[in-house]
Amino acid sequence: MRIVDISQPLGVETASWPGDRPFTLDWTLRRDRGDSVDVAAVALSVHTGTHADGPAHTGEGPPVGEVSLEPFLGPARVIDARPSLGDGRSVGPSVLDGVDVAAAPRILLRTRDTVDAGTFPTGFSALSAALARSLVDRGAVLVGTDAPSVDP
């Protein structure tokens, strides 16, 4: 099996959800200052960059740390949802036309042409309720998006 890391790099330039704590990096020890090692403290919102929300995020289950990693490992399919968006912001169930979700039950939706990690996207595309229902009905075990949220 080929493993592909789809996470985005994190850094002080990474945009955060408006109102959330931004990514900060505080060097406590530095070799270039004469210390024997480099050591830093990092602070950020759990919604910074590539992340997974646990069921507890919406009050419906355990925190993400108690969720099995199994749904994150295995065949995935990238679906380019951009052509279906038109002028709208909602990704509808038509993006699944002709897609065998059971063959690759991890669905990754591409909704943007580019990703600028330093700018929080406004007007991002989200999943429609009909698409969410269709994904569940077809047996999807994971849904990912390049948008900051699956919700509008």
| Active-site residue (options: 57, 77, 89, 112) | 57
Rounded to whole angstroms, the Cα distance separating 140 from 130 reads 14
Rounded to whole angstroms, the Cα distance separating 74 from 71 reads 7
Helix (H) or strand (E) holding 85: helix 82-85
Under the phi-then-psi rule, with left for phi > 0, alpha for psi from -120 to 50, and beta for the rest, what region is 6?
Answer: alpha
Beta strands, E only, the chain: 24-29, 39-43, 76-80, 90-91, 106-110, 126-127, 142-145
Rounded to whole angstroms, the Cα distance separating 102 from 81 reads 19
Is 57 a residue of the active site?
yes
Among all residues, which ones are annotated catalytic?
A: 57
